[in-house]
Structure 1
Amino acid sequence: MSHFQQRFVAAAADIDELGHVNNAVWVRWIQDIATAHWAAVAPAEHQAAYVWVVTRHEVDYRGNLGEGEGVTAETWAASPRGARFDRHVRFTGDDGRVKVEAVTTWALIDRATGRLLRVRDDIAAPFLA
């Protein structure tokens, strides 16, 4: 499995009325690390030919994060099933505690036709190495 990491720090705009990172921000960060991983490891020809869309988010909130606090996000992908590609994401706070864990299902779309595609081995390989 090819793991990928990215750092996030909670800004004032990320904080809700309870004083911690809003759930919608966590989902945005899940998408941000997934797309950053794709951009970092997928060949340019794949990035030009394909786009991913989310079909499902499953998120477990285990802790809070306040303004100015940071997390290290780590993501990795599971083996594809047809057009589906499940991606795992774990956010660990500077205190060493897991704040959020998620499994997100992505589907592969052909940019030219807009059609759903099976995730071929050559497309999945950079994420599973």
Structure 2
Amino acid sequence: MAFAVTEDDIDELDHVNNAVWVVWLQDVSVAHWYAAAHPDHRDQHGAVVLHHDITYRGNVGLGARVKAQTWIQGLPRGARYTRCVRFEDERGKLLVSAVSQWGLIDRNGRLVRVTPEMAAPFLPPAPA
């Protein structure tokens, strides 16, 4: 996923505001869920952030393009899983990285266990 930096993303220091990186983190995470999750799981569940650990290593200004990558790290534990997100500039320089704890919820907002079937599309293939 890629983001183009607009005027609305820029703060008083003439670079992307820290809050915008959090919005982009949410956007790429939600897009990953919708792209990989089974339609039945998407219809019956959602996810909430439990914790973010964000490291800012660089920044970009107006007009820049930022590439984002996300993946699930390790196996889920109960309702919780770890999502990693990496933002790079057009040359591949790391700008922002995040490790977040997410919780799977049902449509009533209750945390529910991530089943192996739900996790499977997000995990790397098993070695042959």
- TM-score, normalised with respect to structure 2: 0.93
Give 1:26's aligned residue.
21
Q: Residue 77 of structure 2: SS of its match in structure 1?
A: coil
Give 1:70's aligned residue.
65
Show structure 2 runs of 5+ residues with no match: none
Q: Which letter maps to 2:98? A: A
* Alignment partners' CA distance in 1, 2:55 and 2:68: 14
Give 1:11's aligned residue.
6
Q: Residue 27 of structure 1: SS of its match in structure 2?
A: helix
Identical pairs, percent: 52
Q: Residue 80 of structure 1: SS of its match in structure 2?
A: strand
Show structure 1 runs of 5+ residues with no match: 1-5
1:99 aligns with 2:81: no
Q: Which whole-Å deviations, capped at 9, do the CAs of 1:61-100 have from their partners, x for residues lacking one?
A: 0001101101110000022111111100001101321000
1:128 to 106, 123, 126: 123
**What value does the CA root-mean-square deviation take over the aligned residues?**
0.8
1:87 aligns with 2:83: yes
* Alignment partners' CA distance in 2, 1:121 and 1:84: 13
* Alignment partners' CA distance in 2, 1:92 and 1:59: 14
Q: Quote the offset at 1:118 in angstroms.
A: 1.1
